[in-house]
Every structure is written in structure tokens, then in C-alpha cells.
Amino acid sequence: MLSIYNTLTKQKEEFKPINPPNVNMYVCGPTVYDYFHIGNARSFIMADIIRRYLEYKNYKVKYVMNLTDVDDKIIKKSIQENKEAKSVAEDFVKAFFEDINKLKIKPADIYPKATEHMNDITKLIEELEDKGFAYNVDGNVFYDVSKFKDYGKLSGKKIDDLESGARIEINEEKKNPLDFSLWKKAKPGEPFWSSRWGNGRPGWHIECSAMSCKHLGETFDIHAGGNDLIFPHHENEIAQSEAANGKKFVNYWIHFGFLNINDEKMSKSLGNFFTARDIVKKYSPEAVRLSFAQTNYAGPLNFSEELLSSAEKGLEKLRNLADKTNEELKNKSKDGIFPEFDFARYEKNFEAAMDDDFNTPQASAVIFDFAREVNKAAAENASLHFEFYQSVKSFLGKTAEEVLGILDLSDQSQLSGNSIENELIELLIKLRAEAKIEKNFKLSDKIRDSLKEIGIILQDSKDRTTFKKNKP
Ligand code: AMP
Ligand code: ZN
């Protein structure tokens, strides 16, 4: 039984989809005004792992992630760079897809963009106005929070406390400082769309209400995003959707903890700001994913380069086992024994961990335990039957590769396609072996290190040297 901590009820609950085996899931995506950073990457990767685990459990997941492509930050950037807002958004949508691909994040089924849903958005605002939940002040339309009796139910905040809090946008047009923008009147030079209130553009919160309803229905199973979105973004989404549809909006709310760097908030001004694309230049996507998976998704994560290098080191063990497994499966040795090994127990433990509110630290510990035990079995026996390695591959494939995305089990011993490149590497391996025989270790090390610099890793075993290529 899968249980999920639900921000709405503040407890772990058994997961019961509305229409099994279908699961409808919405994750708040990026505002496309810059490359996304490693904090955003944490939210995207943990949401990806949750989606992959639901698929592991044979749910049919419809996964929707919005792209906010009209926003103050985009407009600001377009002015700074003297470009059209549309082209800023297009550039960073493209970069977003490149980066999630590098991080091995499975693409969503739908990436709705605000600019392509203007009709749905304005229709929803009209409905709110017609029902008395919104008011128009000279072309600016606001949501009237006093009309929605459940306002605050997600964040646990009370309207009175909020009003005395300082961080509320002051605007004289609002009846109540907590009211928020649904439609913003066009200002000169800004992109705009037409509506019954005049030209303007939507607020951020209404975009998610309109697009999630359009693609997933009025009530759907899971809505996720970073902790910072609980209030006001998700609180406002609930107020809008439930007021318009008169139905519960979302059954399970999942929120990801914030990523900090060396115990400080990540910020450009502190100089501890990393984009995801810079990080994957230095570390493998698997190491990034493992370093996130080793912390519970809901708590804060203290990120550092040491964290990544130690994940990379830990992964070597899994990669070596994957290489050995691929090698043994090629040899298809039937000579060895099939040792006693409780594969089912590891699978059960992996599932028990993930079923407990996606306990990825525990689930990755199960995978590392498994690898240790397999290596022990291999060391204790002269040779093992290839069918044993089939079971090893199957376990690692289902868990480390498919769910956590921390291992690539494809056979890396061959470089794809380019045989001349392969032959040249084999030639260098031969020369290195000769240099070793002549005790010219300076040269043999130089060959190994130079290959490493261009992403070719040599692996020495008892009787031969193989190579693999770090994926770019
Ligand atoms: P944004 O582009 O700022 O709208 O953020 C996209 C997603 O990343 C949202 O789900 C945010 O909650 C999440 N996010 C932003 N900063 C961080 C951070 N430092 N740690 C974790 N998640 C974050
Ligand atoms: Zn959203």
C-alpha cells in the first residue's frame, strides 16, 4: 500500500486514485526567463521519481507540467536584453528541454503554456467574476479572498494573521490586501491579450488553475511543487478552482523541500548559485539524481560539491556491477552456479521504502545493499551462471534505472556507431599495456589520464582492459 504525506491534511494517507489505474498529476513548472537552477532541478527530479514509481506500480500516469511563459520576470529580461518577451520565453523553453533531457527527467505528457491557453484562462476569470468571487477595478481584476470561506486551508494560514503579515503586495485598488491579481491591465510595451476587461495579461495563479482543469479535469489526483509554492500560489489555485467548479480541486498535495547551498540560501548575489546545466557539465546526471534521492524529498537539502563527488564515488560501485553484469550476459556462461540469493526480498524492501511516502534514501540503501551482496556472491564463487546475472540486471533495471534513474544499464563497452573511434581507443589500450610491460608507468598513466580527460574511462580487470564512455 502506497502512502503519501498530504500537505492538505498534514498526514500520511493511503493513495487512492480517482479512476485507477489512471493517475492524473500536475507539477508546477518553470518560469522561462533563465536557465533553471539546481534548486528547481531538485523539485523536477523528485517529481520525476514519484511519477516513475507510480508507473512502476502499473499506474497509467498522465503527467502535466506547465510552462509559465508570460510573467513579470520575462518582461523584465526582455527589456534588459532588448528582445521581445516571446523570444526570451522561446529561448528558455528550448533550454529547459535540453536540461531536463540531460538530467534524465522523463518528459511530461503535456507542457501547457500560458500563452496558448488564453481562452481557457479568461473564461475561468469570467466565471469567477460572474459568481461574485472576483471584481474588476478599471481593467485590473482581483480575486476577493473574503468570499472563499476555506481560504488558508492548505497553508494553515488564517486570513487575520495574514493581513497583519508584512509580505503582501500593497495595491490601493484591492479591497483587501490579500486579494490577488487574476487579470492585469496592459502597460505600454508589454505583451497583452484582449478580454472583456480590456487588454491585459493573466496573473500567475490563474494560469495553473485553468490549465490543470483543462488537461486533468476539475478534480485530479496529485499536485506537486516546491515548498515555496504552498502559499500563496497553491492556496490561490485552490481558491480559484474550487470557487469556480464547486468541487474539491486536488486530492493529494506534495511539496518538495528547499535546496540550500552550504547551509545558505542559494542566490546570485551570494555567488553560490548553480544552474543545472553547469552542474551536469561537471557531474553525471546519475550523481545529481542520487544526491537528491539520498535525502527525503520533503525536508531541506544541503547541497555541496562534496555531496556530488561522494555520490559519484558511490555510483562507481553500481556502475562496475552493471559492467560486470553486461559482460557476464555476453559470455552466457552456464558453467557456474546460481547461488542462493533472495532477489524477492530486495524487491520487497525497495517497494516497502518507496511505498512509505517515497522514502528514496531507504530505497537507494536497499540498492547499495543488493550490490554489496551480489559482489560478495561473485567473490565467493569461481563462476556464476549467467541466469544469476539476468536476475541482477532485472532488479537493477527496475529499481536503479527505471525508478530512481541513477544507473544506465545499457552496454557501455562499445561506443555507439563510430568504429574508427573504437579502434583508436583499442590501439591506445594496447600501447598502454605494452608500456606497462616495459615498466614505463609514466607513459601508461599518461594514456589513461588523457583518455579520461576526453571522457573515456579505462577499466582494468584481471586479464583485460575495457573502456566506457562518460555520456556528454
Ligand atoms: P520557478 O521557476 O521559480 O517558478 O520554480 C519552478 C519550481 O522549482 C517550483 O516548483 C519551485 O517551487 C521550485 N523551486 C524553486 N527554488 C527551489 C529551491 N531552491 N529548492 C527546491 N525547489 C525550488
Ligand atoms: Zn502552478
Q: How many CB atoms within 10 Å of residue 281?
A: 9
Distance CA 334, CA 76 (A): 66
C-alpha cell at 294: 539520498
> Beta partners for 135?
142
Report which protein residue has its CA nearest ligand 1's atom 8: 40
pTM: 0.89
Q: What is the pLDDT along the chain (472 residues), one digit of tens a residue?
A: 999 999 999 999 999 999 999 999 999 999 999 999 999 999 999 999 999 999 999 999 999 999 999 999 999 999 999 999 999 999 999 999 999 999 999 999 999 999 999 999 999 999 999 999 999 999 999 999 999 999 999 999 887 777 665 456 668 899 999 999 999 999 998 999 999 999 999 999 999 999 999 999 999 999 999 999 999 999 999 999 999 999 999 999 999 999 999 888 887 778 888 999 999 999 999 999 999 999 999 999 999 999 999 999 999 999 999 999 999 999 888 888 999 999 999 999 999 999 999 999 999 999 999 999 999 999 999 889 999 999 999 999 999 999 999 999 998 655 545 667 888 998 999 999 999 989 999 999 999 999 988 888 888 876 678 888 775 5
Residue 456: per-residue pLDDT: 87
Calculate how far, in angstroms, residue 40's C-alpha sits from the geometric centre of ligand 2: 13
Distance CA 429, CA 466 (A): 8
Mutate which of 92, 228, 279 to test ligand 1's pocket (most atoms within 8 Å of Cβ)?
228
Residue 459: per-residue pLDDT: 81
Residue 426 phi, psi dihedral angles, 5° rounding = -60, -40
Calculate how far, in angstroms, residue 421's C-alpha sits from the geometric centre of ligand 1: 41
Residue 412: per-residue pLDDT: 67
C-alpha cell at 199: 487588454
CATH architecture of the domain formed by 313-401: Up-down Bundle (1.20)
C-alpha cell at 461: 580487470
Domain ranges of the chain: 17-277, 313-401, 419-469
CATH of domain 17-277: 3.40.50.620
CB 66 less than 6 A from any atom of ligand 1: no
Q: How many CB atoms within 10 Å of residue 178?
A: 23
Mutate which of 40, 93, 302 to test ligand 1's pocket (most atoms within 8 Å of Cβ)?
40
Distance CA 369, CA 363 (A): 10
Residue 207: per-residue pLDDT: 98
Distance CA 192, CA 162 (A): 31
**What percent of the residues of the chain are helix, what percent strand, and what percent coil, each to the nearest 5?**
50, 15, 35
Q: Which residue has the cell 510573467?
A: 71
Calculate how far, in angstroms, residue 360's C-alpha sits from the geometric centre of ligand 1: 20
Residue 110: per-residue pLDDT: 98
Q: Residue 213 in contact with residue 183, Cβ under 8 Å?
A: no
Ligand 1 atom at minimal distance to the Cα of residue 266: 19
Q: How many CB atoms within 10 Å of residue 115?
A: 19
Residue 455: per-residue pLDDT: 83
Residue 16: per-residue pLDDT: 98
> Which ligand sits closest to the CA of 226?
1
Q: Residue 37 in contact with residue 176, Cβ under 8 Å?
A: no
**E strand intervals along 191-280:** 200-202, 220-226, 250-256, 259-261, 264-265
CB 168 less than 6 A from any atom of ligand 1: no
Q: Residue 182 in contact with residue 212, Cβ under 8 Å?
A: no
C-alpha cell at 351: 517497494
Give the β-pairing of 134-137 and 140-143: antiparallel
State how far Cα 430 lies from the chain centre.
42
**Helix ranges restricted to H, 301-418:** 305-331, 343-355, 360-380, 386-396
Residue 462: per-residue pLDDT: 63
Residue 179: per-residue pLDDT: 95
Distance CA 330, CA 324 (A): 10
Residue 370 phi, psi dihedral angles, 5° rounding = -60, -50
| Matching fold, domains 17-277 and 313-401 | no
